[in-house]
Every structure is written in structure tokens, then in C-alpha cells.
Structure 1
Amino acid sequence: MLQSVHQHRHKIRNECLLPDFFEGHSEAFGMFENTLGVVKRSFTAQITGSWQDDMFLLDERFVFSDGVRDHRIWRLRFEEDGHFTGECQDAVSPAIGRPVRNGCYLSYRFRLPVGKRQIVVKFNDVFRLVDEQTMLNRAKVSKWGVPLGQVTAAFRRVPSGQVGETGYL
């Protein structure tokens, strides 16, 4: 069984970059811009990725520019060809992902707090590996097909001895 899981992971890593990049610790910073290019909110995040049997867990801890903190855990399941699905507590339906050269696409519907209510929006993410330590992400955000803006984020791997030194937690 263990050898089968190891072989499955090896095949996945040959097809999809997310587990390779996010296994261990990383940090992120980014922003949401509306359709006019006005930055409405920025954030930093600490991310820990780990395997639990055949599922990859992404534990994300955000601090936003308005002081709001958020914690989310994505559970990703990969197929041998690198396609994958993901779930988290704020996703309305499973996220659908597929590998592309130097990255992946990911599409999902997500429940976002806006003031005292929540709205459901669609995210279309593109992740691109810049180098072994850096990944960029751009996500187009829409509601009923109408563009609301985009999220741009940069991720950096953090050596295990430096976890927690950024002050984002």
C-alpha cells in the first residue's frame, strides 16, 4: 500500500507543480484590484502543504490590510494525469484543476464575506512557476459572468528554519 501511494505521488509530481512547490512552508503576499485597477484589499499569508495519504492539504492563514484574519484548508486530490479537484469550507462546489506548462489552471465558485453578508463568486486561477522558490498567481473574479476584478499573488518557499520569522501570523 505505502509503495503504491509513493508511486502515485511520483506520477502526480511529474504532472502537476502545486504539490512540489507547496509541500512544506511558503508565504504569500497579494492584492485584489477591481476592474478599474484600484487596489481594494491586500494580504499576506502563511501556507503549509502536506500529504495525508493520497490527499494534499494546503493550510492557508491570511492577514488582510483591514486587519481581518482568515484560515482555510484546501483538500486536493490528484489524478495520475495531473488533473485534480479541491474542496475547502468556503468553496460552493469542488474546484477543478488541470496542469499546464509551468503551472496549472484552477476554477471554482467561492463564498466571500462582503460586509455583513456573503456572496458567491467565481475564481479562474492561473498559477505559474517562476523558479524553484517563486510562484505567481492571477485569479479573475466574476459574478454571473460579470468581471469584478482580479487577485494577484506571489508565493515564496520558506526554508524550514525560518518559518514564523516574517511576522505574518
Structure 2
Amino acid sequence: MEAIAYVLLGCALMIVLGYLKRKYFDFDAQTASDYAEGEQIDLRTHLNGPIVCEGVIYGPTGRVTSRFVGDFEAEWNGNTGVMKEHFRYSDGTEQHREWRLTLGNDGRIRALADDVVGDGTGTQMGSAVQLNYKIRLPEDAGGHVLDTTDWMYLAPNGTIVNRSQFRKFGIKVAELVATMRRKDVA
């Protein structure tokens, strides 16, 4: 009986440590205020016009499951923008998405797309943008709805480095790392 108590105590301790790691020392522990200093990102400037995107997607084991390139076209009218994305994946498939973005004067972001369930919300502050949303995968990929957290970081040359994590029931099932840069920037 005493051995079972130690096993249960060990399991409880591991759960608590995992929670603390994720909450305070992991990807999800970041806040927009962590990046308040330095060059200021402005999506209306840094994600405007023709944009090229290159990246990889990691599966749940940490191995690359897909590589892609994308051509984006973003247009802004004041604080409202539309970004059309066309992705080409290493397996030959293609994907199109159109983001409809609204920026608040306080840095808040509202993001809508056809494969996003509800509204995406986020913040641009300092040199970073954080966006949270639920994305519905295509039916041929299971049609699952994943909780998504995007972090976009402005590099000194104007390139944006994007890191996204996708979770189902709180468990990370995929991660994306990509760069986005205006086509007129070498």
C-alpha cells in the first residue's frame, strides 16, 4: 500500500512540475510585454504588399513533417487589413487562406479566416506580435480543431520570424517555424 502512495505522489509531482514548466518556463509563458522594448513592429508596415514566406512544420515527435513556401499579398486601409496567403508544400499540395485583420489603437488584434473557429485575438507590442486562435484542419487531415498560439518576432532587417504551436487537449501536436519578408527586401 505504501508503494502505491509513493507512485501516486510521484505522478502528482510530475504533473505539477509539467504544469509549472509550461506556465513559467515554456513557449506559453511569454507575454507581449516581454518584448515592449526595442524596435516597434507594425503589421501595417512589416506585413504589407507582396511577402514571401518559408518554413517547416514539426510533428509531435519533434521531426519535420512538412516544408513549405508561401506567397502572401497584404493590403491595409487604416487599421483594417486583408492578407491573402498561398502555400505550396513539399508533398505538392497547396493551400489558400485569407486573413481579415483589425488593429486596435491599443495594439490589440482581431483576426478572422475561414478555417479559424471564432475570432483570433492578439497583441502587437514592441518587437513582437502574439496571436491566439482555434484552427480547423482540412477534412483530409482529420478536421480537428487545434488551439494555436503564434508568436512573430521582428528581426533587425525587417524579416518576421514566426513560431507557432498547435495543441489538442493541451498537448502539443505540431509546431511551425517560418520567416516572412517583403519581396522587395533582399
Name which of 49, 52, 60 aligns with 1:27: 52
The question of 1:123 aligning with 2:140 is answered no
Q: Displacement of 1:133 after TM fit?
A: 3.1
2 CA distance for matches of 1:72 and 1:110?
11
Name which of 57, 70, 92 aligns with 1:45: 70
Q: Specify which structure has the higher proportion of strand.
A: 1
Check the 8 A contact 1:138/1:151 in 2, yes or no: yes
Structure of higher CA gyration radius:
2
- What SS does the aligned partner of 2:115 have? coil
Matched positions, count: 148
Check the 8 A contact 2:41/2:126 in 1, yes or no: no
Name the counterpart of 2:170. Answer: 145
- What SS does the aligned partner of 2:43 have? helix
The question of 1:87 aligning with 2:88 is answered no
Q: What one-letter code is carried by the residue in structure 2 that aligns with 1:60? A: E
Q: What one-letter code is carried by the residue in structure 2 that aligns with 1:21? A: H
- Which blocks of at least 5 consecutive residues in structure 2 are unaligned? 1-38
Moved over 4 A (4+): none
Name which of 129, 133, 152 aligns with 2:158: 133
The question of 1:111 aligning with 2:173 is answered no
Q: Displacement of 1:36 after TM fit?
A: 2.2
2 CA distance for matches of 1:154 and 1:90?
21
| CA spacing shift, 1:21–1:53, aligned 2, 3 Å | closer
2 CA distance for matches of 1:117 and 1:143?
12
Q: Specify which structure has the higher proportion of helix.
A: 2
Deviations 1:23-67 (A, max 9, x none): 111101111102322101111000111024642111111001111
Name the counterpart of 2:82. Answer: 57
Cα RMSD over matched residues?
A: 2.1
2 CA distance for matches of 1:80 and 1:116?
37
Q: Displacement of 1:116 after TM fit?
A: 5.8
TM-score scaled by length of structure 1: 0.80
The share of aligned pairs that are identical, in percent, is 26
